[in-house]
Amino acid sequence: GENVEQHPSTLSVQEGDSAVIKCTYSDSASNYFPWYKQELGKRPQLIIDIRSNVGEKKDQRIAVTLNKTAKHFSLHITETQPEDSAVYFCAPRGNTGGFKTIFGAGTRLFVKA
Amino acid sequence: DGGITQSPKYLFRKEGQNVTLSCEQNLNHDAMYWYRQDPGQGLRLIYYSQIVNDFQKGDIAEGYSVSREKKESFPLTVTSAQKNPTAFYLCASSIGTVSNQPQHFGDGTRLSIL
């Protein structure tokens, strides 16, 4: 079945620095690549996504880059702020699995003021 | 999302008891999902449904059951066969026509054993 891995599992940065989280997947038929943010005790919320016909997408301080050949995509957060502290999950999906979704194990980001 | 309502927010189960978690959505989404989240862990898929009257097992379906009689409702029953049910349960939905759409989550139900 689909294998999804996230790295690192924990990331600590100083406020204002950049953070990068990588998601590696095994299903070459994956065509949808979202990132979700979950604050403590809250629901996960989509923060950015990309589809397989695009290599990069940016939304203010957040960007996602996709390398379909290597089967990985990354979340980039620039000028980090304390409110960026949360757990981030990737959840690639594609035609092979249909609607079945495998989430990565999550990356806990700490932004130190 | 305001469009997905999970209830109750907290639930306690006694030994040998079945309990049902409610999930209702008014987003007109065809697909709905149930996930289990243990402390400090990721989301694991229990069941999902792409359309009314149809549902599929996820990775950890044992000890759980679901029904999908209405488009807007996808209740999850935690049966007595689930020996370690204490967790945070999240319901989600997405547009059902294609799989490349985001999931929208409810606020979750915390289930504990008495």
The tens digit of pLDDT for each residue in A27-61 reads 888 889 999 999 998 999 999 999 887 899 999 99
How many whole angstroms separate alpha carbon B72 and alpha carbon B31? 10
Closest by CA to A35, choosing from A12, A62, A67, A8, is A62
Angle at A95 between CA A94 and CA A97, to 5 degrees: 75
Q: Does residue B1 surpass a pLDDT of 60?
A: no
Mutate to test the interface with B, among A73, A89, A101, A102 (most CBs of B within 10 A): A101
DSSP 8-state secondary structure symbol assigned to residue B73: B
pLDDT given at position B100: 80
How many whole angstroms separate alpha carbon B41 and alpha carbon B62? 19
Closest by CA to B90, choosing from B34, B13, B12, B47, is B34
The β-bridge partners of A28 are: none
> B80 to chain A nearest CA, in Å?
25
Distance from CA of residue A113 to its chain's centroid?
A: 23
